[in-house]
Amino acid sequence: MAHITFDSSKLQKFVHDNELGEMQAMVTAADSELRNGTGAGADYRDWLNWPNDYDKEEFDRIKKAAQKIQSDSQVFVVIGIGGSYLGAKMAVDFLNDTFYNYLPDSERKTPQVFFAGNSLSSSYVYDLIHLIGDRDFSVNIISKSGTTTEPSIAFRIFKDKLVEKYGEAEAKKRIYATTDANSGALHDEAKAEGYESFVVPDGIGGRYSVLSAVGLLPIAVSGASIDDLMQGAADAEAEYVSPDLTKNEAYQYAAYRNILYRKGYTTELLENYEPNMMMFSEWWKQLAGESEGKDQKGIYPSSANFTTDLHSLGQYIQEGLRNLMETVVKVDKPNHDVEVPKEPQDLDGLGYLEGKTMDYANTKAFEGVTLAHIDGGVPNMSVHIPDQTAYTLGYLIYFFEIGIAISGYLNGINPFNQPGVEAYKTNMFALLGKPGYEELGQKLNDRL
């Protein structure tokens, strides 16, 4: 029995009973493409069996490195962009108390984990350096090539701060590189300088890399159990192996979202009811958007954080353009619950909730919103997770990874490449004056 539950029961108004079964032949074909390597992008399927096939020796080194960082650092700076940071940030937020990073050093058992190199904002880097102050810190630079502009600039800056504080020899002991196993600028630098290094697997694209060293080191440093995380993913791998739509809920999710897409529901909102799951939506948006947005087609991934966004986006979702579908990730048991206090006078009108909990109110909000949106013409699916543990997160990650992969094949898309990403990089290199881009840079400047 699956550890998490996919609920499609609220789709009855939008999907006829026969439609899921009629997708079976296409799903079976997509499953064959994925598992037999006959589909496009077959070289990037190592994530499929990774929860069982991961490098156990490297995994142990990750745990030992995390222990060292926890012992000698009060701050851990993780430098990366896209898949090199979203998964780790998502997991650190998901698995820790909401304000963990804000607690004083005396009240935290592990370092603060902050992320850099995911923008070109000078103010952000300046403010992070100010926040670190005189405290001890270490750096994890994550880049397969080592030449991506945003993390490369950030790494230079924080490497300089390490050398300034500790000297060159000690600074090298506080730099951890996650990069290509055999080549690339960062690989060569790490080898030359003696940084402890971990591998970005060749057969796993960035958006699928959170369960590799890319995500595991920051997650382990934060104090979460990466053993439990991988076990959850391994159990999900075993659960979502059948192409039979009556047995595989991850494939049901893929099938239903494609049925709805073909009916004109071209935007999918991933929604949650826990503020520390906001970054989960950001991770999912890259997974879905970069996998499916190709050839002038694909479901547009967006997100909303409830109940907060009901006071800003709620009107549009309820009565705006009817191209929206919703997938809610609902936590059945929150990390903590708080009871509504009793008061002698019911001045705020909350007497009817006295003795009940905030999670009770949150769940009723989820139920009420679901029914209202269905009545307003928005198809609704939900994924129920029992808790916010590392095991559950590993399971949930794999659910969406395999669901999105199958969904891409169902729509005739290579779910593992991202050719469009290179267009802006080429222009940016040219405008920045990178050697080899001078002619293009002149043409672009003439257009500006």
Active site residues: 290, 425
CB neighbourhood size of 364 (10 A): 12
Tell me the C-alpha distance between 389 and 393, whole Å: 6
99: exposed, middle or buried (Cβ count in 10 Å: 0-12, 13-18, 19+): exposed
- In this structure, are residues 138 and 104 in contact, taking their beta carbons and an 8 Å threshold? no
Q: What is the DSSP string of 178-217?
A: EE-SS-SHHHHHHHHHT-EEEE--TTS-GGG-TTSHHHHH
Distance of alpha carbon 211 from alpha carbon 46, whole angstroms: 11
Report which of 168, 167, 215 is spatially closest to residue 194, judged by C-alpha positions: 168
User: Would you say 76 and 108 are in contact if contact means Cβ atoms under 8 Å apart?
Assistant: no
Q: What single-letter DSSP state applies at residue 115? A: E
Spatial strand order in the sheet of 196-199: 112-116, 75-79, 137-142, 175-179, 196-199
* Strand, helix or coil for residue 135: coil
How far apart, in whole angstroms, are the C-alpha atoms of residue 348 and residue 108?
37
The set of residues, in sequence order, having a beta carbon less than 8 Å from that of 211 and lying 6+ positions away, is: 47, 50, 51, 54, 87, 229, 230, 233, 394, 397, 398
Quick one: tokens of 53?
Answer: 């096939």
Amino acid at 150: E
